[in-house]
Structure 1
Amino acid sequence: MSTLLPFKAVRPVADKVALVTCRNYDDYSPAELAAWLNFNPYSFLHVINPAYVHAQKITLDKRFKGVAHKYQDFKNDGVFVSEEEPVMFLYEIQTKTNTFTGIVAGTLIEEYKANVIKKHEDTLQYRVELFKDYLHQTGFNTEPVLITYPDKTEINDWIVKKKKEQPLYHFSTTNKEKHTLWRIGVDSEIAWIQNQFESIPELYIADGHHRSASAELLYDEDNHLGNPNLKGFMSFLIAESNVKIYEFNRIVRDLNGHTKDDFLALLDEHFIVKSKLQELWKPQDKFEFGMYLDGEFYALFYKQENPNPGLLENLDAQILYDTVLHPILGIEDLRNDERIEYIPGKQSILTIKELVDEGEFEVGFMLFPSEIAEIKALADNQLIMPPKSTYIEPKFRSGLMVYEL
């Protein structure tokens, strides 16, 4: 049984929503960030980075308090409005290649604890603690956890019907995305959606493992204060068939002391290695890997010596780690080793070629993206994928919706 909660959302006024909302803070280059902050006084980036105006270097404690104060300034200036009653929303994102539609609602911490809301990625405790402190001091969150649910005909049909209604917002962004938001505010409609999700036994986190873990930690520490908003966290729930899963490709700075010939010979133990010369070759199926080394592309076909691999051992990202990254290239810690970096699979493999050709990196690896069934199977068995195994869309815009604590 899965529970959805309406909440008293805070959101931008309609005539400023396109100016307020922004991509994730980390997606902006320093120059791009400076441009937005200098020329758009309504950007939510001003809330996220309140010290920018004075080019201050401040402690995290002061920064979090500054975020809270700047957010309150936006509310006092009428940039944000609050829903009078708890509601949910239907949200659609149209990119150049995909259309994503999901429900924005609260989900229960207790169901997260009980593994009704399942996870497949590990978290770093310091990041969980940091974001918990952020939530505690700012008193809000604007980045929902992306959660998938099994496709249901009834919900799909309702979404089609709901989209025919007048939306709250319909706006475009500078990266040529279209965003549309509908309010779900009628009690009977909210109850119907809740009833639909009560028949879904399990939900799966696609993106936002640190956010959900931080919400749980804050709940454990502050629930005694009696704040009902702490019992849930904001989620963007989307049908399994509607998420887009990309791989994370890997680039490594050196060959760990091996010559090119020695490295290729070592790969031969676990892979059939075929040169593709200058062909921009990408894996076409599971157990296939692309590689770019010394101006040349290669196809690596895993020999699958183990006839009965476990779920985790069967994962392409784990195979690459177990056969190449760790034993040959000497990379143990995939999160913190500075010799390895990650490129989202939605970027062209020319990015990998350019980075290797420039000399900062020596070899790049291209993976085949995981499927949702693979992710669910790992979560069902409480197994954890290697770091940076998946890059999942859609991505929610910061400042579109605020869940106050």
Structure 2
Amino acid sequence: MAKIKPFKAIRPNEHEVRNIAALPYDTYNREEAYEYVQQHPHSFLVVDRPETLFGRNMDMYSSDVYHAAKKKLEEWINEQRLIQEETECYYIYELTIGNRIQTGIICCVSADDFENGTVKKHEKTRENKEKDRVCHIMTCGSQTGLIFLACKHNDQIREIINNKKQYEKIYDFASEDNVRHRCWRISKKDDIAFLTESLKKIDKLYIADGHHRAASAVKVAKLYENQNNKNRKIQDYDKENKQLNAENSENEREASYVMSAIFMEEELKIYDYNRVIKDLNGYSKKEFFKQIEKRVEILEESMDEIHPRRKGEFVMRLGNEWILCRFLGEERTSTNENRRINEKERINENSATNVVESLDVSRLQNEILEPILGIKDPRTDKRIEFVGGIRGYEELRRRCDKYDAVAFAMFPTSIEEMMNVADAGLLMPPKSTWFEPKLRSGIFIHKIDESI
């Protein structure tokens, strides 16, 4: 059972929200972040990526950088560009991209749930990235980014979302990527109590996006718990410190909850997450293609764009051609143009290990990237770049031509595959899922320490 509560959000006033709301900090590399902030100086990216307030040679992990984020937050609060709720609330957050709508609940989930298996993860995190966000949270005394969580269908939560118009609408704006963002506030005690009880019925949550933010928030929760336990032992003998003890307890309480957005699985869409390799590991294009032919079936070659149509297929960009490939063992039968994978050629799908090994991104890594191209660890190898499918084939073409090498366009991982991996307690290869639309940072901020 998930432990979920409302919170007193810090959020933009309605006139500033469009200027402040920003894509998550980790969707930009350092140069892209600098360029964006130069054009959008009031974007929340200056808080999430405060190194952009300094010169390009600044150490992005310097304490001065984190304190610049804190100072910017304080400045915006003093200017009332950001306001804080007086009472704890839930929020409904609706995103519309094209004809597709996804709507979720903004809330705080217990940090314990991220450790006891209630919240399930599928991605390995890196210590240096965790440390960065720990420093950011601790310095700002706030969680500034939402954890994107998915859950199975829940009728009561769906009813609450469908009745959103009875609540107070606080935001309605379109971001520059043509995504419409609408938010409603749930502030009445009876409504909050009903939603809290409904959320208790969720037995499993899945991290869709934000593994590093989540891991960092959990580490901060432990730091507060350990420090406050230490303070209690010291202050138990000092009656004058009762107020300080109360403040510490409140800070610990807030730090022990992680600001999150919960969406139901049926509304979510995973896009392809593609790969660009900067060289051919010493092969000529002709030699490389011969190596590929040994490991996959070539279905089609074209100067025009081709897209993978089903699991087991991928498209390779080599030279000026797009080449549709299928992993060996992914034989198909055909009935009225409907294709399916020959189950006899697959390893037992119930095998826990195979939940990961059967992913297309795993097969690409194990059958091509490592044995042919020498990419042993895609998390750290500087020869590989990852490109979210929302950027389209044009970005793959541009990068492939830049390096005169090869790109791979994947068939998207499914929500079911992601959940199966997480349920098995396993991890996906890095950059297996790309969710769109992206939740905006800066719309909601969770203050965890009033003393900062």
Q: TM-score, normalised by structure 2?
A: 0.84
1:243·1:394 contact (CA, 8 Å) conserved in 2?
no
Q: What percent identity do the matched residue pairs reach?
A: 29
SS in 2 for 1:279: coil
Question: 1 CA distance for matches of 2:130 and 2:168?
Answer: 39
SS in 2 for 1:346: helix
User: What pairs with 1:265-276 in structure 2 (closer than 5 Å)?
Assistant: 265-276=290-301
AA matched with 1:307: R
1:276·1:297 contact (CA, 8 Å) conserved in 2?
yes
User: Residue in 2 aligned with 1:70?
Assistant: 72
Give the direction of change, closer, same or farther, for the CA distance of 1:246–1:51 in structure 2 (3 Å limit): closer
Residue 308 in 1 paired to residue 352 in 2? no
Question: 1 CA distance for matches of 2:133 and 2:161?
Answer: 33
Give the direction of change, closer, same or farther, for the CA distance of 1:122–1:152 in structure 2 (3 Å limit): same
Residue 369 in 1 paired to residue 415 in 2? no
User: What pairs with 1:300-379 in structure 2 (closer than 5 Å)?
Assistant: 300-304=325-329, 307-308=346-347, 310-358=354-402, 360-379=403-422
Question: 1 CA distance for matches of 2:46 and 2:388?
Answer: 27
Question: 2 CA distance for matches of 1:36 and 1:19?
Answer: 8
Which stretch of structure 1 is more off in the superposition, 118-127 or 169-178?
169-178
Give the direction of change, closer, same or farther, for the CA distance of 1:214–1:82 in structure 2 (3 Å limit): same
> Which residue of 269, 294, 308 corresponds with 1:244?
269
1:134, CA displacement in angstroms? 1.3
1:109·1:215 contact (CA, 8 Å) conserved in 2?
yes
Give the direction of change, closer, same or farther, for the CA distance of 1:47–1:389 in structure 2 (3 Å limit): closer
Question: 2 CA distance for matches of 1:51 and 1:377?
Answer: 38
User: Residue in 1 aligned with 2:145?
Assistant: 143
Question: 2 CA distance for matches of 1:276 and 1:24?
Answer: 37
Give the direction of change, closer, same or farther, for the CA distance of 1:331–1:187 in structure 2 (3 Å limit): same
User: What pairs with 1:154-165 in structure 2 (closer than 5 Å)?
Assistant: 154-165=156-167
Residue 11 in 1 paired to residue 11 in 2? yes
SS in 1 for 2:102: strand
Residue 83 in 1 paired to residue 91 in 2? no
2:146·2:439 contact (CA, 8 Å) conserved in 1?
yes
Aligned residue pairs total: 400
1:228-281, Cα deviation, whole Å (9 max, x unpaired): 111110001001011120121111112112233332222233311134221311
> Which residue of 174, 178, 181 corresponds with 1:179?
181
1:139-193, Cα deviation, whole Å (9 max, x unpaired): 1122110000111233222211113544012122333222111111112212222
1:285-306, Cα deviation, whole Å (9 max, x unpaired): 0011111112112111112286
1:275·1:296 contact (CA, 8 Å) conserved in 2?
no
User: What pairs with 1:230-241 in structure 2 (closer than 5 Å)?
Assistant: 230-241=255-266
Question: 2 CA distance for matches of 1:270 and 1:20?
Answer: 48
1:355, CA displacement in angstroms? 2.5
Question: 1 CA distance for matches of 2:141 and 2:413?
Answer: 36
Residue 21 in 1 paired to residue 21 in 2? yes
User: Residue in 1 aligned with 2:123?
Assistant: 121
Question: 1 CA distance for matches of 2:98 and 2:302?
Answer: 31
1:251·1:361 contact (CA, 8 Å) conserved in 2?
no
> Which residue of 31, 52, 63 corresponds with 2:35?
31
1:36, CA displacement in angstroms? 1.4
Question: 2 CA distance for matches of 1:185 and 1:277?
Answer: 57
Residue 397 in 1 paired to residue 399 in 2? no
> Which residue of 424, 445, 448 corresponds with 1:381?
424
SS in 2 for 1:263: helix
1:364, CA displacement in angstroms? 0.9
Give the direction of change, closer, same or farther, for the CA distance of 1:179–1:328 in structure 2 (3 Å limit): same
1:208, CA displacement in angstroms? 0.6
Which stretch of structure 1 is more off in the superposition, 267-276 or 384-393?
267-276
Which stretch of structure 1 is more off in the superposition, 317-326 or 57-66?
57-66
Give the root-mean-square deviation of aligned CA atoms: 2.0
1:82-120, Cα deviation, whole Å (9 max, x unpaired): 111111100111223532211000001111110100000
Question: 2 CA distance for matches of 1:95 and 1:142?
Answer: 24
Structure 2: runs of 5+ lacking an equivalent: 229-248, 331-344, 349-353
Residue 298 in 1 paired to residue 323 in 2? yes
2:95·2:101 contact (CA, 8 Å) conserved in 1?
yes
SS in 2 for 1:384: coil
1:20, CA displacement in angstroms? 2.3
AA matched with 2:393: I
User: Residue in 2 aligned with 1:197?
Assistant: 199
Question: 1 CA distance for matches of 2:136 and 2:35?
Answer: 26
Give the direction of change, closer, same or farther, for the CA distance of 1:208–1:282 in structure 2 (3 Å limit): same
2:269·2:435 contact (CA, 8 Å) conserved in 1?
yes
1:87·1:183 contact (CA, 8 Å) conserved in 2?
yes
Question: 1 CA distance for matches of 2:53 and 2:278?
Answer: 37
Question: 2 CA distance for matches of 1:34 and 1:196?
Answer: 44
Q: TM-score, normalised by structure 1?
A: 0.93
> Which residue of 207, 211, 227 corresponds with 2:213?
211
Residue 47 in 1 paired to residue 47 in 2? yes
1:125, CA displacement in angstroms? 1.2
2:312·2:327 contact (CA, 8 Å) conserved in 1?
yes
2:167·2:186 contact (CA, 8 Å) conserved in 1?
no
2:143·2:217 contact (CA, 8 Å) conserved in 1?
no
Question: 1 CA distance for matches of 2:404 and 2:300?
Answer: 20
Question: 1 CA distance for matches of 2:428 and 2:396?
Answer: 23
| Structure number having the greater helix percentage | 2
Structure 1: runs of 5+ lacking an equivalent: none
1:15, CA displacement in angstroms? 2.1
SS in 1 for 2:2: coil
